[in-house]
Amino acid sequence: MSGASAVPAELKVTLLQHTPLPERAVASAGRLCYAPVSAAELKEVMSEDDVRRLVRGLVRSGHMSALEHAGFTFAIDGISRACSHQLVRHRVASYSQQSQRYVRFGSEGGFVVPPHIAASPEEYAVFQEAMENARRSYERLVELGLAEGRGNESVFEDARFVLPNAAETKVVVTMNARELRHFFALRCCRRAQWEISRLAWTMRHLVCSVAPLLFEGSGPGCMIGGCPEGKMSCGRSYTDEEIDAMELDRFVGDVG
């Protein structure tokens, strides 16, 4: 079997949609709690300065429930099953994931390669062989199952058991602004696993471009005044130069 069968998967994250005027929606919701008029009226009459002041005030005071009114939906391609298992632990979110039961893991399905393994020719050779063996075993099980006259669903749901954690998957996820800030605080941290950290930084990059006020000061604790990791702290705060060096635009998918 050729090495092409174990093609490396590449992360791509697309912001599919979000609440229209998300910062104004949040400001309207927050202001409504203390206003005698409707949120619809507030949304129309608030100036940009009002919105800025209100959003910053909500975050500063910890009135985070208002941020739940702004939602963001992402299409995530090229992550591993190991990463998706971590992602879905964030339960205040909605997920739709490509099924290995109904979708054949075919020629377009790749495997996510850890950077340290990719950087070592010897380790990469071992990894590549393992991925090729997994794909070969999967294809053989599919071939045998179909030859028995079993349906695709039955065949695929059994054959997938030989696929590794590295197998690529695709996910659509929707989170509100409050949950995203929590997600970034945990997963942008240096102590987070490298793949979900890369995903989190890319998602943060996307939402900061459309709602900078809502995500001002978001990220790991070291960027917002203090690390919560205690004795487990790495002691190394992120710098703007490090974030720029991530070149996050390369992980951003095309918007249709």
The closest of 100, 96, 97, 121 to 109, measured between CA atoms, is: 100
Active site residues: 187
- Token readout for 89 is 């632990």
Backbone φ and ψ of 95, nearest 5°: -130, 145
The residue with tokens 């005027």 is 21
Helix (H) / strand (E) containing 81 = helix 81-87
Cα 73 to Cα 167: distance, rounded to the nearest angstrom: 23
Calpha distance 203→193 (Å, rounded): 16
Local structure of residue 167 (DSSP, 8 states):
B
Strands (E), the chain: 12-18, 71-80, 94-97, 168-176
* DSSP bridge pairs for 75: 14, 172
